[in-house]
Amino acid sequence: MFLQRHYEDVTVQMTSNMSREIELVRARPDLASELQISLVDPPEAMRVRAWDLSGRAMREELMQRFPDLLSVDTVSSDKAVVLGFGDGVGLQFARSDVSAANPHQLLVLMMATALIMTAVSALFMRGQIRPIRRLARAAQAFGRGQAADFRPSGATEVRAAGMAFLEMRARIERHIEQRTLLLSGVSHDLRTPLTRMKLELSMMDAPEASALADDVTAMERIIDTFLEFARESSNDERKNADLLPLVQAAVDMAAPGQGITVDGAPVQADVYPDGLQRAVTNLVKNALRYGNRVQVSVQAGTSVVVIIVEDDGPGIPESDREEAMRPFARLDNARSNTAGNVGLGLSIVRDVARAHGGALRLGKSDMGGLKAELVLPQSRDGKW
């Protein structure tokens, strides 16, 4: 609107000045050459482009000053204006005499400036987004148990968020280390008296000795479970492996001599071998503890690979499945408690699944019992 009003006003002012010269030439045609106005044949009709704003303003101003003006032609020549009057006189003069030169120069400069500022803004935003992406990758790697190298950079706010993340990661690592040392120390201190108690009970002939020996065995199982839950996976390196032999080895470890075979096609996967075997072992032991028949299979999809363990036990109600995966949760209504069961089996499996960037899903099996699905996502490089 500013450009339109500006150039229209300039055109009206220049046309007003030119009108005096036109009046003088019509009165004295011999002065036409000195005023750089040519006598030509008048145009046959009005010819002004609809988008020619200055041309329209010029035409309106000339028609107001010359009532006998019949035609204005600005189309035949972009650099000249031809007028036709009622007395048959035709005049031609330069378009620059009634219009400002380069009327769109300011608009072009504004567009060029806008493009330059857009490019500068894109480069600036790219520089600010890059450290945010690095922070996101570092947080994702830490959530999977990986120690990714990260240095805060970028704007002040982004660096502050990066420093807060590093401090949080250090606190969590110290907490995990202290927890592991505490449980390891407690278990080490408890193993010696428990071993001594087992030796003493084995030498006793009292009727109560058998029950006490079962209690000691349950205590040892609880200690082993605590250690397994607190064990860090930092020494477990992620590598590409064939899942079928890996899962089959875990099944044989959990159920030796029972002939449980793993169904599925061969598939390569980037996994933590020790953690995955520990998870599958817990699932199979859990299934055998509450059921008589167990089925294990491996299914590969386009974006995930799923390890499925099913049994024919009592299962877990849908309303209690999320609670069953919490640490130290024991659902007596769903599955009866046994000696040494502290409710950490499914929690360990879920932690292993999360370390792989996946999840643990519980459902109802076609066998009537529990169906546990260990879902592992596909990696970015095309491997599992």
Structural domains of the chain in order of their starting residue, each with its CATH number? 2-102 (3.30.450), 104-232 (1.10.287.130), 236-377 (3.30.565.10)
Q: Give me the mean pLDDT over the 139-150 stretch.
A: 77
| Confidence band, pLDDT 50/70/90 cuts, at residue 270 | confident
Q: Give me the mean pLDDT over the 21-40 stretch.
A: 88
- Name, of 89-103, 134-148, 210-224, 357-371, the range with top average pLDDT: 357-371
> Given this model, what pLDDT does residue 334 score?
43
> Given this model, what pLDDT does residue 335 score?
45
**Measured CA angle at 146 (ends 304, 277), to 5 deg:** 55
> Given this model, what pLDDT does residue 382 score?
40
Is residue 98's pLDDT more than 80? yes
Cα dihedral across residues 254, 319, 366, 372: positive or negative: negative
Percentage of the residues of the chain whose pLDDT score is greater than 90: 13
Which is higher by pLDDT, 221 or 314? 314
Terminal CA-to-CA distance of the chain, rounded, Å? 60
Token digits for 284? 């199979």
Which is higher by pLDDT, 357 or 103? 357
Is residue 364's pLDDT more than 50? yes
Percentage of the residues of the chain whose pLDDT score is greater than 70: 86
| Confidence band, pLDDT 50/70/90 cuts, at residue 292 | confident
**CB-count exposure of residue 341 (10 Å: 0-12, 13-18, 19+):** middle
